[in-house]
Amino acid sequence: MLPHSGSLERIRTIIVADHDELGRRVAARVAEVIREKTAAGTRPVLGLATGSTPVGVYRELIRMHRDEGLSFAEVVTFNLDEYYPMDPGSMHSYHRFMWENLFSQLDIRRENIHIPRGDLPRAQADEECRRYEAAIREAGGVDLQLLGIGRTGHIGFNEPGSGLESRTRLITLDLVTRKDGAADFFGEENVPREAVTMGVATILEAREILILATGEHKAHIVRRAVEGEVDHEVAATFLQRHPCTTFYLDHAAGAYLTRVATPWVVGSVEWTTPLAVRAVTWLSRQTQKGILKLTQRDYAEHRLSSLVAAHGTPGALNGLVFNALGAKIRGRSKLARGRRILCFSPHPDDDVISMGGILRKLVENDNAITVAYMTSGNLAVFDHDVRRHLDFLERVAGERGIAERGVIQLAGRVEEFLAAKRPGDVDIEEVRDIKRMIRESEAVAGLRTLGLEEGAARFLDLPFYQTGKVRKDPIGPADVAIVRALLEEMAPHLIFVAGDLSDPHGTHRMCKEAIDGALEEIAAAGGDRPELWLYRGAWQEWSVTEATWLVPLSQEELRLKIQAIFKHQSQKDTAPFPGPDEREFWQRVEARNKGTAAELDKLGLAEYFAMEAYVVDRT
C-alpha cells in the first residue's frame, strides 16, 4: 500500500495492490463506522454507490456479516442515483443491483433502505427529490458516503456543469457517460438520457467520503480530480473542499499520479535501475532528444542531478538506460523454439488482437501451441448476426435437403424470440449457443490465418461467464478446476495470460484470477510453475519501460495479424462492447503496435515497423 504523499495531491489518496485488497480495506472502514455508531446507540447512515468497483466492497461486507456477525439491523442507507425512467424490477435498475449484490444477503430492514425512484411520472420527480433530501436530514445526515468516479469526473451522476450548491435532482446524462453505459444496456441507443442523482452539496455534507477507482481507464480523471484545480466541469474536484475524503485506488488507477508516474518531481527517491530507466526515458520525451544525446544541463533543468551523481556522468547513465531498453528487444531467433505453449484468451479474439504477431513467430519456431478461449464471448454478438447465420443454414438445408425440418424449426423458435426481445433480455439457450458457435468459428479462422490448425483451439466456456448478462458471477472453484485440468493436461513450458486491467467489465481480471488460483493449487501440490508472460488486450499496451520484452513485427507480420483480427467478423465495423475507444480493434492494434516501435525510435534506439510488448510475471 502506498500512503498519501506529495504536495501535489489535494485529496488524501491510498493506493493498494489490487481490486480485492481495495474491497477489503474499504469494507473494513465501513464496518468500523457501523460498529462505532451502533455501540454509541445511534443508527449508522451509509451513502452507497453502484457499479463494478464497489461490488468487491459489498462482497466483503456480506462475508463479514456471515462470518463475523456484522449486523446491519440498525443501518440506514441512501443510494446516490438511479436512471430515469427506470422500472425498479429492470435488470438495469440500481434498485435491483443493490438487492442482488448486497441487501438480499444482509439483515438490513427494508424500511431503512432508500434509493432514488426512477419510475415516477415526470410531474412528480421534483417532489420526490425534495422528499429524498428531507429523508437524509431526518436520518441525521450521512456518516459515510461511498463514491465512484466517471470518465467525465462525475460523482453520482453530477455531470460537467454541476454546481457546488446542487441538490438531489433530475439531470441529463453526458454523452460520454451514456457511451460508457452502452455495454450494460446492449447499445448506446438504449441508455436512458436522464437520471436522478444526489447533488454535489448533498454529497459534501456527508461526514466522511470514500471514493473508489480501479483500472487504467480511470487513471487520467483520477489525476485530474486529485491534483487539478477545482472546476465545476469536473465534479470530483469539489471533494478537495471536503475535510474527510479519501481516494482508494488500485495501481492501475493511480498510475498517472505524479508520485507514481514521476516521483522524482515531488521529492527525493532511491534510484534503482528500473526507476532510472523510467526517469531517463521521461527526460528524453520531455526534451525530445534521443537518450544518448541527453546532457548534464538537461538533467539539471529537470531536477535529475541526483540521478547523474549516482552514476558518475551523463554518458554512463545514458549508456546504461540505452542498453537496458535495447536488451528488451526479442526477435524470432530469441523466442521459444520446440516448446509446449499455452495461450489463455479471455474472449475469442484477445489472442489475435494482443499477440497475433508473436503467435505467428512461435508457429514458425515449431512450438506446440494451444490457445484456450476462456469464455464464449456470446454476449458480444449482435442479434442480426444470428439471423444471418440462420438464413445461410436454411438456404443450405433447402438446397441440399440436409435436415431441413430441424433447421426450419430452430429458425422459427429463434425468430419468435428475437421478434419479442427487449434490450437486455437474456437470450434463450438456442440463441446463446448460436452466438457461441459464431465466435468459436471465428476464433478457429483467426488461428488458421496465423498458421495454426483447428485442433489448437480449446473452448473452456468457464461457468462464471454463463449468466447471459453483462454482469458475471464471481470466479468459483468450478472455474479454477477447469483451468487447472487444462494446465495439468498440457504441462506447458510457457503460458500467455491477459494482464489487461482496462477491460470495462472486468472479464480479463476475472480470467486471470481463475488462472492464478489454478497455478497456486498446482504449486501447492508440488507441481512446476510454467514461465508466465502477460499481454494486454484491446485497450492499452505495456509501455516500453514497463515491458520485459519487446517483440518486433515486420510490415508483413502486422498485416497478417490484422487479417487474423478480420476473421472475427461479428466484432468488426461496430463491436457491441468497444470500450471508451471507438476505433475498430484492428485500427487500435495498428496504432498501438506502430506507436510502440515509434517510441523506441524517438528514444534513439533501432527503428522497427511495429512491436508487441510483454511483461514476465516472476511472482
Q: Residues with catalytic annotation?
A: 159
3-state secondary structure of 564: helix
Q: Cα separations (Å) of 531 from 371, 439, 522, 528, 605?
A: 16, 29, 14, 10, 28
Q: CA-CA distance, 154 to 220, in Å (whole number)?
A: 13
Q: CA-CA distance, 572 to 442, in Å (whole number)?
A: 11
Query: What pairing do the DSSP bridges indicate for beta strands 194-197 and 169-172?
Result: antiparallel
Q: CA-CA distance, 155 to 213, in Å (whole number)?
A: 11
Q: CA-CA distance, 272 to 269, in Å (whole number)?
A: 9
In the 8-state DSSP scheme, what is residue 579? T
Q: CA-CA distance, 145 to 137, in Å (whole number)?
A: 14
Contact yes or no for 377/596 (Cβ under 8 A): no
Q: Which of 184, 249, 221, 186 is nearest to 505 (CA)?
A: 184
Q: CA-CA distance, 340 to 351, in Å (whole number)?
A: 17
Q: CA-CA distance, 210 to 216, in Å (whole number)?
A: 19
Q: Cα separations (Å) of 214 from 16, 182, 234, 314, 602?
A: 10, 19, 18, 38, 31
φ, ψ dihedrals at 577, nearest 5°: -125, 75
Q: Cα separations (Å) of 489 from 373, 460, 515?
A: 16, 13, 14
Q: Which of 573, 589, 211, 520 is nearest to 385 (CA)?
A: 573
Contact yes or no for 341/429 (Cβ under 8 A): no
